Structure 1
Amino acid sequence: MNRSFFFRFVFPFGPPTTTPNTIKPLHQTTPKSEFCEWKEANNHCAKLTKRMDRAKKKFASAIDGLRSLHNRTEINVEEKVQSEHCRFTRVVRHGLPDDPRCCAYDPVQRLIAIGTGRGHIRIIGDAGVDYLLKHESGEPVLHMQFLVNEGGLITSCGTDSIHLWNYRQKTPEIVHTVQLSKECVSCIHLPVAAKWLYIGTDKGNVYFLCLNSFLLSPYVINWNKAIDLSCRVHPGPVRQLAVSPAENTKLLIVYDKGIVVQWNLANKEVDRYPLDPPIKSVNWHFDGRQVLTGNVDGSISLYGNKKASEPIQRTTPHGSGPCRPIQQVEWKHMSENESIIMFSGGMPTDDGLPMPALTILKGGKSATVLEMDWPIIQFIPLNQNIWNSIPQCPHSVAVLLKHDFMVLDLNQQGHPVIESPHAMNIHESPVTCVSYYSDCPLDLIGALTLVGTKQRNKEFSTRVSWGG
């Protein structure tokens, strides 16, 4: 309530209209007109005083009314929590992703991606680096390749679709997709800094995908052009593709039934490797002059690039008796004259049930067999050098198991496990409930940290990071 009050001061006898010399003496009688003016002025002042008193009372009562209204205001709070008051949000992830299927590695950014059977991709690195990508279709992620140091990831799902992820932005998303028709993707291969993605299919054919336009090339390697004409059976799906580090026109194609061919992309010439024994996995020497193969009978063979008809050397690391197939073989070099061979499988068959193991051969001088608790899905050497045309100098190897993930130190005796900055194995202790507490006191956090330190595995590697 706003009111303005104006005051008018009236001289009791009127304003002086004469000079001081004309002022009348006090003993003279005041005229009747001047007395009336004085009385009228007094009455007017009295009325103004009454009005001001009434205004003060109204203003005070208005203030009291506002105060009482504020005190009477009641806040209605619903005592029962309704469904619309809650929204479930993922705040933490713990343990290895469920149903892992494949993994990939970016040696520059030091990122490891793990694809799952539910369409999820977990990208992890050093401490604090942990991302989760999700395919809306929920189809299993079967194959992955990083675009090294470009912030891109290529995934191949069970729907025979190939996606290009861009995770450089705040919200990662799929920027390109291509769908294969009438054929299923069985493997993919992407050399470092390459502009073409190599795609093998279940029909035995090889396709090429341009990464710039994400369109398939009309150039196709058909299975019947690659295998020997004397072979009357289908070679099966393409299981592995490997481009020579020295000549990018030479491509090794490994088929499911053990047939391996070397295809020249320029002139379409073919060199075929012997079928006895069938080959499961291959790897190039960094100079591109030799090829190492892992075979079905548990042996490894060394071939020259110019003569693929017969091996230069062949050996069975786990004895001359019957052995299980070598599933994957990797051939890396610490220097030009010091090599390191890693392979999964190849264990003797006379030991009963198959024991998942990773064998590491260093320069032909020492052999280390690392037995695993779970089947090996895939392993990747973590190299210091990203280029395959020079000695790669691997410092560790990442092993993806069915229910675990670990990184082994190749530079330390016994190859101990490097402690992961991320929680990976949730199966050590069955989890029955989870509680979340905020604003915990610092002494409680310190006590929990101390307890966790006492339970820490003492056999971890002295290396504190996955990086080189």
Structure 2
Amino acid sequence: MKKIKNMKGVLDGLRGLGGSSQSKSETESFDFEENLKSEDFKIAKIVCHGFPNAPCCIAFDPIQKLLAIGTKHGSIRILGQSGVDCNLSLDKEAIKQLIFIINEGGLISIASNNTISLWTIRQKEPTITMQMQFTKREDISHAYLPFQSKFIYIGTNQGNVYLLNIESFKVSGYDIKWNKAIGMRDSNHPGAVIHLSECPSDQSKLLIGFRKGLTVLWDLHKRDAVRFRHTEDLCSVAWHWEGRAFACSHIDGSLLKWTVKTPQKPTEHFFPRADLTEGDSAAAAASFRPISRVSWLSRKQDKAELLLFTGGGPQELPQPCLNIQAGRHIDVLMMEHAIIDIVPLCESPFVNDSSEAYAVAVLQQNDLTVIDLLSDG
């Protein structure tokens, strides 16, 4: 049994705090027994406190009511109802994208080194059950998993789309090459794939959005496409729940609405943050910030269509904002920090369901804000 003596420095500090008048000889003669052994110590994380540092992506499970936030440092924070809060880590690689396997207790993470991981989050300690390194020598730019599907669509910065079976974690033989998607009349590279989604009214149709403005509705069975061409760089795409139209946001601060049956020309092309009293010519001459994300929602209580979008304001107004547009009216909500992404919170996981969003989660650089969409004001 060891003994520790000469605790002069420690006890002098205690004496100074407590006003003790122990003499030097009394301090030096004080000793106590140490019974602790090395096996009594175990380093473990007991708490994860505060907002995740450097967030970069967000995902939502509408049935389990779970939010997942990925960071540039490789950590994943999962938040839910009271008492649901866990933190995962992935070798310090930045998380590009998170996708819930809705209502099945699964989460897919895509890292900056193109590692695709399947997490099982049903148990108290979530674990990686399957993992693979994407081996197509292309960087993953965007991925999409339809509800109740076993195949995840993987878009790349080269403009190609591949299918990955999430049960076997093997890449399917079916792919969509960029030169087939853009058609014979165009030989220019369309840029990276930045959007993928099923048509709400036809699961055999896949909407592909390319960075340089082209949007393609690809028929998975016929391997043919309908093309919607625009010159400005594309930022995001959102379907109307009926599947007959979709909206695109662009780097110049404009929104376009397309109908599936008329790909020759958009039904609407407008700058939503332009001063409507100044006329279309003033809006065209103005300079606006990119609209990085758009969502097209319905509101049953007043049978209104809602457009949720970030950015789009004049260049001279740098403060980040979330815009909620109903008809010609826009509510502009200023945010304290830069907006990373937004995700509407809906009751239904079906893309062809008109179930309205009851809130929208706004992921910011240093904050997470949830905005009620049902209450007045």
- TM-score above 0.5: yes
Counterpart of 1:133? Answer: 88
The aligned amino acid for 1:340 is: L
Partner Cα distance (1:121, 1:380) in 2: 17
The offset of 1:109, in angstroms, is: 0.8
1:86, distance to aligned residue in structure 2 (A): 4.3
- 2:33 aligns to what SS in structure 1? coil
- Counterpart residue number, 2:365: 402
Larger-gyration structure (1/2): 1
Query: How far does residue 306 in structure 1 lie from its aligned partner after superposition?
Result: 1.2
Partner secondary structure for residue 218 of structure 1 = strand
1:334 aligns with 2:299: yes
Equivalent residue for 1:386, pick from 332, 340, 349: 349
Per-residue displacement from partner, 1:276-308 (whole Å, max 9, x unpaired)?
Answer: 344321111111111111122212121111111
SS, match of residue 292 in structure 1: strand
Task: Specify the SS of the correspondent of 1:108.
Answer: coil
- Structure 1 counterpart of 2:322, which letter? L
CA drift at 1:169: 2.3
> Distance between the aligned counterparts of 2:124 and 2:314, measured in 1?
50
- Looking at structure 1, the residues matched to 125 and 43 of structure 2 have their Cα atoms a distance apart, in angstroms, of 20
Q: Which residue among 302, 311, 321 is the counterpart of 1:357? A: 321
**Secondary structure, counterpart of 1:153 in structure 2:** strand
Q: Which residue in the other structure is 1:428 paired with?
A: none
After superposing the two structures, state which structure 1 stretch, 296-305 or 102-111, moved more: 296-305
Q: Which residue of 2 aligns with 1:250?
A: 205
2:180 match: secondary structure: helix
Partners of 2:138 and 2:350 lie apart in 1 by: 32
> SS in structure 1 opposite 2:201?
coil
- The SS at the match of 2:337 is coil
The answer to whether the aligner puts 1:301 opposite 2:256 as a matched pair is yes
Superposition TM-score, scaled by structure 1 size: 0.68
> By how many angstroms is 1:88 displaced?
3.5
Structure-to-structure mapping, 1:223-372, within 5 angstroms: 223-319=178-274, 320=283, 321-335=286-300, 337-351=303-317, 354-362=318-326, 364=327, 366-372=329-335
- Pick aligned residue for 1:211 from 166, 182, 187: 166
- Write the deviation string for residues 12-37 of structure 1: whole angstroms up to 9, x where unpaired: xxxxxxxxxxxxxxxxxxxxxxxxxx
Q: Secondary structure at the match of 1:224?
A: helix
Partner of 1:78: 34
Residue 128 of structure 2 corresponds to 174
1:70-123 CA distances to partner (integer Å, 9 max, x unpaired)? xxxxxx8229x8887644432222211111111100011100001111221110
Q: Decide which moves more: 386-395 or 88-97.
A: 88-97
Match of 1:59?
A: none
Deviation sequence 1:203-257 (CA, Å, 0-9, x none): 1110111122221110110111111434343222111111111111111111122
CA 1:85–1:170: 2 relative to 1, 3 Å: closer
Q: Which amino acid aligns with 2:325?
A: L
Larger mean CA deviation between 309-318 and 200-209 belongs to 309-318
Instruction: Give, in angstroms, the shift of residue 392 of structure 1.
Output: 2.6
Q: Percent identity?
A: 38
Task: Work out which of the residue numbers 64, 79, 92 in structure 2 matches 1:124.
Answer: 79
Amino acid at match of 2:132: V
SS for the counterpart of 1:322 is coil
Q: Shift of residue 373 of structure 1?
A: 1.6
Q: Distance in 1 between matches of 2:159 and 2:258?
A: 23
> Whole-Å Cα distance in 1 between the matches of residues 258 and 46 of structure 2?
52
| Preserved contact between residue 273 and residue 308 of structure 1 (Cα < 8 Å) | yes
The aligned amino acid for 1:347 is G
Q: Distance in 2 between matches of 1:127 and 1:112?
A: 13
Given that 2:71 and 2:94 are in contact with CA atoms closer than 8 Å, whether structure 1 keeps it comes out as: yes
RMSD value, Cα: 2.0
Q: What residue number does 2:23 align with?
A: none
Which is helix-richer, 1 or 2? 1
Instruction: Please give the alpha-carbon distance, in whole angstroms, between the structure 2 residues aligned to 1:278 and 1:204.
Output: 14
Partner amino acid, structure 1, of 2:34? E
Structure with a larger share of its residues in strand: 2
For 1:156, the aligned partner's letter is I
SS of equivalent to 1:89: coil
Rounded Cα–Cα distance in structure 2 between residues aligned with 1:384 and 1:397: 12
TM-score by length of 2: 0.84
Residue 13 of structure 2 aligns with which residue? Answer: none
Shift in alpha-carbon separation, 1:82–1:169, aligned structure 2, 3 A? closer
Rounded Cα–Cα distance in structure 2 between residues aligned with 1:245 and 1:388? 5
What does 1:7-156 align with in structure 2 at a 5 Å threshold? 77-78=33-34, 86-135=41-90, 137-156=91-110
Q: How big is the shift at 1:131?
A: 1.1
- Aligned match of 1:442: none
Deviates more, 1:196-205 or 1:253-262: 253-262
Q: When the two structures are aligned, how many residues end up with a matched partner?
A: 335
Residue 338 (structure 2) aligned to one of 347, 353, 375: 375
Structure 1: segments with no counterpart, 5+ residues: 1-75, 415-468
Determine if contact 1:360/1:368 at 8 Å carries over to the other structure: yes
Output the amino acid matched with 2:288.
C
| Whole-angstrom CA distance in 1 between matches of 2:53 and 2:83 | 21
Could you tell me how far apart the structure 1 residues matched to 2:160 and 2:366 are? Answer: 33
- Check the 8 A contact 1:386/1:392 in 2, yes or no: no
